[in-house]
Amino acid sequence: MTTLPIQSGHIVGPNWRIRSKHARRLWEGGVLTSLVLCGTFSILTTMAIVVVLFGEARRFFLMPEVTLAEFLFGLEWNPLLGAEKHFGIWPLVCGTLLVTGIAMLFALPLGLMTAIYLSEYAHRSVRATLKPILEVLAGIPTVVYGFFALTIITPGLQSIYDGFEVYNVFSAGIAVGIMCLPIVCSLSEDALQAVPRSLREGAHGVGATKFDVSVKVVVPAALSGIVAASLLSIARAVGETMIVALAAGNMARNLKAGFDQGAVTGVLSAIDPTESAQTMTAYMVQIFLGDASNFGPEYLSSYAVAAALFIMTFILTVIGHRIRVRFREVYE
């Protein structure tokens, strides 16, 4: 029978069952084994991800109509329509990076400013109301943001400038930015809070204003945490699916046509935020919603795209954590 160890301030006496030494050792061993098995499961998951993604991607590259060189360097992604299929991943990567870039344009400055405000300026009561609101924002499912982008942000943008298409990268980017805001904010705020008081007091003591203290002392001291927060939120934005599937459109941009007319046109066609673009995740959604026949090259191509996505987020997460652990300045 279990009871809370502490009830109304006094300790309830323990009731360890006394077994023979042998039985006890056996029982402890069994428990430890099952816990180790639990732990192994998460390692198995990682291995399964690697095996599934890269195994199927390998099968994709072994197909006659596909080459690894075209996949890595090609500027045309056209697996479903047309007589000639093209598997060059850059149009999808470009879509993903464009959405991520626009999202970060909003999330990083706003998130950092909110974090500085919460950590350095806000009164305790303001903090107590703003933090739960940010938590609510963090808990909203991404499909809701996608709906918001499609029905509110896009019409809003169109009323400002009518060059925006119904599906456009800018509105998806704003929605992803709102989604990332709480992540940037709460992780950066943790980093700012970890800077000890003595640093602030020292700066105040030599005549710094509050602005000097926050921007020239506290932010640099917490920089590693802020960079890590940004990297983690970039990883989230890169892997975001439902928002871009709803609001960014389902046509991969043809970069080749743009670059054929010259480098400037090519770059402009790649970064135009008013038009639609397909991201890596949106392509996977399109395939798994049944636009492709099973086990053709276009079906397997989604595994190759998923492998590329996995590598991107993996690198971002690892670097983010490395920075957080290694460059964390320890203050005593």
Q: Residue 166, SS3?
A: coil
Closer by beta carbon to other proteins, 110 or else 227: 110
Binding marks (x or -) toward other proteins, 274..293, rule CB under 8 A? -------x--xx--xxx---
- Residue 161 sits in the site that holds other proteins (CB under 8 A): no
Cβ-Cβ contacts under 8 Å for 80 (sequence gap 6 or more): 286, 291, 292, 298
Structure tokens at 243: 């928002």
Q: Show contacts with other proteins in window 124-143 (CB under 8 A).
A: 130, 133-137, 139-143
Interface stretch with other proteins, choices 57-65, 77-85, 268-276, 308-316 (CB under 8 A): 308-316
Query: Using the rule CB under 8 A, which residue among 73, 201, 321, 331 binds other proteins?
Result: 321
Q: How far is the CB of 305 from other proteins (least distance, A)?
A: 10
Segment (H or E) for 219: helix 219-221
Residue type, 238: V
Cα–Cα distance measured from residue 263 to residue 112, given in angstroms and rounded to the nearest whole number: 35
Backbone phi and psi for residue 318, each to the nearest 5 degrees, phi listed first: -65, -45
Interface stretch with other proteins, choices 62-70, 81-89, 117-125, 191-199 (CB under 8 A): 117-125
Closer by beta carbon to other proteins, 82 or else 139: 139
Q: How far is the CB of 185 from other proteins (least distance, A)?
A: 7
Q: How far is the CB of 144 from other proteins (least distance, A)?
A: 5
List, in sequence order, every residue forming a beta bridge with 141; answer none if it has no partner: none
Give the C-alpha distances (Å, rounded to integers) separating 64 from 56, 68, 100: 15, 11, 33
HSE, side-chain direction, 13 A CA sphere, residue 295 = 0
Closer by beta carbon to other proteins, 74 or else 146: 146
Query: Using the rule CB under 8 A, which residue among 151, 198, 261, 265 binds other proteins?
Result: 151
Cβ neighbour number for residue 70 with a 10 Å cutoff: 16
- Residue 310 sits in the site that holds other proteins (CB under 8 A): yes
HSE, side-chain direction, 13 A CA sphere, residue 168 = 23
Q: State the DSSP code for 13.
A: P
- Residue 271 sits in the site that holds other proteins (CB under 8 A): no
Do 86 and 67 form a contact (C-beta atoms < 8 A)?
no
Interface stretch with other proteins, choices 77-85, 157-165, 174-182, 258-266 (CB under 8 A): 174-182
Q: Show contacts with other proteins in window 30-89 (CB under 8 A).
A: 31-32, 34-39, 41-43, 45-46, 48-49, 52-53, 56
Q: How many residues bind other proteins (CB under 8 A)?
A: 102
Q: Show contacts with other proteins in window 183-222 (CB under 8 A).
A: 185, 203, 206-212, 214-216
Q: How far is the CB of 165 from other proteins (least distance, A)?
A: 15
Closer by beta carbon to other proteins, 40 or else 265: 40
Closer by beta carbon to other proteins, 6 or else 69: 6
**Beta strands of 19-134 (E only): which ranges?**
77-78, 86-87
Do 91 and 71 form a contact (C-beta atoms < 8 A)?
no
- Residue 3 sits in the site that holds other proteins (CB under 8 A): yes
Residue type, 5: P
Segment (H or E) for 77: strand 77-78
Closer by beta carbon to other proteins, 227 or else 271: 227
Q: State the DSSP code for 19.
A: -
